Amino acid sequence: MPKQSKPNSKKQRGAPDPVRVLVAIDVQEAGGLHAFDKENTFALDEILSNKEGERKQLYKLCRKGTDERRQVRNLVQRWKGKCSNEEFVEEVVVPLVVAKESEQANGQSQATEKVSCR
């Protein structure tokens, strides 16, 4: 008999929202999605090695060999496969940053990307 989950329990798939926001911002600051092509295989490692400010706490979860790091890598690959650099900024970076700013103003968690690049 298959396991039944509790109706009110939600398990988030993929990288946690705060990590998504910082990764999107960091990818954009690193030169956009095209900077993460095969020629620059260590670009994501460089981002996840950033240990300053709030990144120190959030990226600590994304150590090499962890599921969290794999989730972040898959997230960036999904963005690369579905978005041009312009779409990435318009449909991922801006909504996540706006949601983060309104979350800080309202004290609520709502940082999700609701876009086709997802």
- Average pLDDT per run of 10 along the chain, which is 118 residues long? 50 79 88 78 83 83 89 90 89 86 69 51
For residue 108, the model assigns a pLDDT of 57
61 located within any domain? yes
Domain interval for residue 44: 17-106
Whole-number Å distance between alpha carbons of 60 and 87: 29
Residue 115 lies in a domain: no
pTM of the model: 0.73
107: Cβ–Cβ under 8 A, 6 or more apart, which residues?
Answer: none
Residue 12 within a domain: no
In the chain, the number of structural domains is 1
Report whether 47 contacts 30 (CB < 8 A).
yes
**Does residue 68 lie in a domain region?**
yes
| pLDDT for position 5 | 47
**E strand or H helix that includes residue 107:** none
The answer for 108, left when phi > 0, alpha when psi is -120 to 50, beta otherwise, is beta
d(CA 41, CA 33): 12
Confidence at residue 70, expressed as pLDDT on a 0 to 100 scale = 92
62 belongs to a structural domain: yes
Can you give the pLDDT at residue 1?
52
